[in-house]
Amino acid sequence: MTTGTDGPRLVELRTRRHVARLRRPWGPDVGVNHVLEVTVVDSTGATGTGFSWTPSIGAEAVHALLEHDISAAVVGGPVDPEVVWPALWSRLHEAGSGGLTTIAMAGLDLALWDLAGRRSGRSLVDLLGARRAGVAVYGSGVNLHYPLEELVAQARRWVEAGFASVKIKVGGPDLAVDHERVAAVRAVIGPERGLMLDANQRWDLATATAAMAVLEEHAPAWIEEPLRADDLAGHAELRRRIATPVAMGENLHTVYRFRDALDLGACDIVQPNVVRVGGITPFRSIAALADERGVALHPHLLPEISGQLALTLTRPCLVEEVEDASLTALGLLADPPPVVVQDGELRVTGSPGLGLDFSGALVGASGRPA
């Protein structure tokens, strides 16, 4: 990759794997989140910290990409993330344009942005340019497997916490049960709060069409990933059939796929995940594309980073907080955290760089301290 001759060089990349147990499992096979902490050191001795993340599978592969291919490609080169990212993506493209490759790249990209912030003494928000002091947060749950009473109790907690919008999962085998659950949550949160639905790719086109004909009674603000994320044409057809806005993007990995989705008319709302797309550098390109097309953008998960980016976006958006599943709630970050959420609004604490200080309580796959 291009290295250039001026400025500090990257002299070290090291990783640590954290396996954090979810207090509220996301299902029988998703009881942990895998977080790969990435630390970079430049030739002046300055350091930066980022992370790659995956909730279920692929952590070993991501770790291997960071330890071998990525480290070999970038050590000795520049530390400017906007120079490093495109050259590294081109090098890794043979292993896949997105998915494992971009998830791994995110760890490096976030660490390089953190390095830039720490070296300048500025937070990420100040580095990119703040456009607002706070951003609205919505309560979110991976809760399709919750009994109805537990789902209702969760919705009540979100109301008590001051969230103006909430999101729940749909897509169970019985549409009548989905309808009952959506109706119960709408009754708890009232008509004034936003209610978003997320099918997590569980439906086909015919099922989604039939389901939304029933669920639209409860005025959902959007339906998220109703179909397999790869099926952009199917999403475009569903969007023509239903009144509810269609949201997608957590499983799109490159700016080209986001552009394809918008060109095909597949969605009204894009939801890039800052790690899955490869970090802050490509996230900003996707945000610029959304601005250019006049499409709403609401970042997916990871409020410690998504919330900071939201404060720098041209237009206001909503930040997602899954109950008990942020890096802070998982016990991975030492105080102070980079963001705080109070009365449904996220603000930053002003820590230099990304403000990520992993606690050091490293946990192995067995759940025992490593």
Strand, coil or helix: what is 248?
strand
**Superfamily designation of domain 10-120:** Enolase-like, N-terminal domain (3.30.390.10)
Determine whether 300 is an active site residue: yes
Phi/psi of residue 89, nearest 5 degrees: -60, -40
Please report, as a single letter, which amino acid is at residue 369. Answer: P
Sheet holding 32-42, edge to edge: 10-21, 32-42, 47-54
- Predicted confidence at residue 148, as pLDDT, reads 98
Strand, coil or helix: what is 261?
helix
CB burial of residue 358 (10 Å; 0-12, 13-18, 19+): middle
Q: Are 161 and 141 in contact (CB under 8 A)?
A: no
- Predicted confidence at residue 3, as pLDDT, reads 40
* pLDDT tens-place string over residues 223-251: 999 999 999 999 999 999 999 999 999 99
- Indicate which residue of 18, 34, 169, 235 is catalytic: 169
Residue 15: other Cβ atoms inside 10 A:
20
Q: Are 331 and 145 in contact (CB under 8 A)?
A: no
- Predicted confidence at residue 56, as pLDDT, reads 84
Q: Pinpoint the residues of the chain covered by CATH 3.30.390.10.
A: 10-120
Q: Are 140 and 171 in contact (CB under 8 A)?
A: no
- Predicted confidence at residue 91, as pLDDT, reads 97
- Predicted confidence at residue 349, as pLDDT, reads 93
pTM: 0.95
Q: What does the pLDDT profile of the chain (370 residues) look like in tens digits?
A: 344 457 999 999 999 999 999 999 998 889 999 999 999 999 999 999 999 999 989 999 999 999 999 999 999 999 999 999 999 999 999 999 999 999 999 999 999 999 999 999 999 999 999 999 999 999 999 999 999 999 999 999 999 999 999 999 999 999 999 999 999 999 999 999 999 999 999 999 999 999 999 999 999 999 999 999 999 999 999 999 999 999 999 999 999 999 999 999 999 999 999 999 999 999 999 999 999 999 999 999 999 999 999 999 999 999 999 999 999 999 999 888 999 999 999 999 999 999 999 976 545 543 443 3
Q: Pinpoint the residues of the chain covered by CATH 3.20.20.120.
A: 126-348
Domain 126-348: give its CATH architecture.
Answer: Alpha-Beta Barrel (3.20)
